[in-house]
């Protein structure tokens, strides 16, 4: 079985996306993931944080993905599934709408070639963008040390510590952050600290700057998305209430 997955953004890729793709792959044997262009996303959702080329690379790096289709259409049709020999498409159990407020999966749902996986609670692109808009330079230095240590205790002893080619900034007390890391004493002195070249110059600061630069556009995007989802939920609720009344009248 070949499965097609085409969530609306794959922008700000996070563990929720990975979990969705893990579930999708488990439903079939071969997973094809469609990733939209910047223009398609801007039309239906608002400006993306990452460029389409960056998003193609990020999705390819997720281990459950067998193939990536660049420039996938925003609305998934039977024609698209047939073009790539997919038996069905998979999406999370959240609402995905076009700029006109239509269900992007309506056609494949009606044909019985739609499957759903559980959305990962507590994380979303919308939430991440909102949190980064509120983030300041003090954000990183306000981590509760006791909470951090509680989590790092679960890692056990590590054999290798890796860092990208970005600059290594000292901790707030001025100490080397790699003098003590995940219960490993002085990884730099022990020779287990390795520099890894990702081949990409993108940094967290650069991402934050992109979001700040388009702050008003991102805030408008988030508000528009929430308003459309609320409208759909209310419409579905009204339909269910009407069906309940009709069933009650039929019984009488």
pLDDT given for residue 232 in this prediction: 66
- Asked whether residue 124 falls in the same domain as residue 218, the answer is no
- Asked whether residue 104 falls in the same domain as residue 24, the answer is yes
- Asked whether residue 112 falls in the same domain as residue 215, the answer is no
Q: Token digits for 218?
A: 């991102």
Residue 165, domain extent:
156-201
Helix, strand or coil, per DSSP, at residue 134: helix
Q: Would residue 22 count as lying in a domain?
A: yes
Q: Would residue 245 count as lying in a domain?
A: yes
Q: Whole-structure pTM over 0.85, yes or no?
A: no
Question: Angle 33-45-37 (CA atoms, 0-180°, nearest 5)?
Answer: 45
Enumerate residue ranges in the chain where pLDDT < 70: 6-9, 135-157, 180-185, 218, 220-222, 224-230, 232-233, 252
Cα 83 off chain centre by? 26
Question: Angle 195-63-92 (CA atoms, 0-180°, nearest 5)?
Answer: 125
Q: Would residue 78 count as lying in a domain?
A: yes
Structural domains counted in the chain: 3
Question: For residue 53, what is the domain's CATH number?
Answer: 3.40.50.620
- Asked whether residue 102 falls in the same domain as residue 213, the answer is no
Digit-coded pLDDT (tens) for 106-131? 999 999 999 998 888 777 777 777 77
The DSSP-derived string for 15-41 is: HHHHHHHHHHHHTSSEEEEEE--HHHH
Q: Which of 84, 113, 129 is the last residue of a domain?
A: 129
């Amino acid at each position: 079985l070949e499965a097609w997955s085409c969530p609306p953004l794959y922008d700000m890729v996070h563990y929720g996306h990975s979990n969705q793709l893990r579930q999708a792959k488990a439903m079939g044997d071969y997973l094809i993931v469609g990733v939209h262009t910047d223009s398609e996303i801007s039309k239906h959702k608002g400006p993306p944080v990452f460029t389409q080329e960056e998003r193609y690379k990020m999705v390819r790096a997720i281990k459950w993905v067998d193939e990536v289709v660049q420039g996938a259409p925003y609305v998934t049709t039977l024609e698209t599934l047939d073009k790539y020999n997919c038996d069905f498409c998979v999406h999370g159990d959240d609402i995905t709408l076009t700029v006109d407020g239509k269900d992007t999966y309506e056609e494949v749902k009606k044909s019985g070639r739609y499957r759903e996986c559980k959305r990962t609670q507590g994380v979303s692109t919308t939430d991440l963008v909102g949190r980064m808009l509120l983030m300041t330079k003090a954000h990183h230095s306000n981590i509760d040390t006791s909470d951090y240590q509680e989590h790092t205790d679960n890692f056990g002893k590590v054999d290798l510590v890796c860092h990208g080619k970005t600059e290594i900034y000292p901790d707030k007390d001025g100490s080397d952050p790699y003098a003590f890391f995940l219960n490993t004493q002085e990884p730099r002195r022990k020779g287990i600290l390795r520099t890894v070249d990702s081949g990409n110059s993108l940094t967290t600061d650069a991402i934050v700057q992109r979001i700040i630069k388009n702050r008003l556009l991102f805030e408008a995007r988030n508000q528009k998305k929430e308003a459309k989802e609320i409208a759909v939920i209310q419409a579905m609720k009204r339909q269910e209430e009407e069906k309940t009344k009709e069933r009650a009248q039929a019984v009488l």
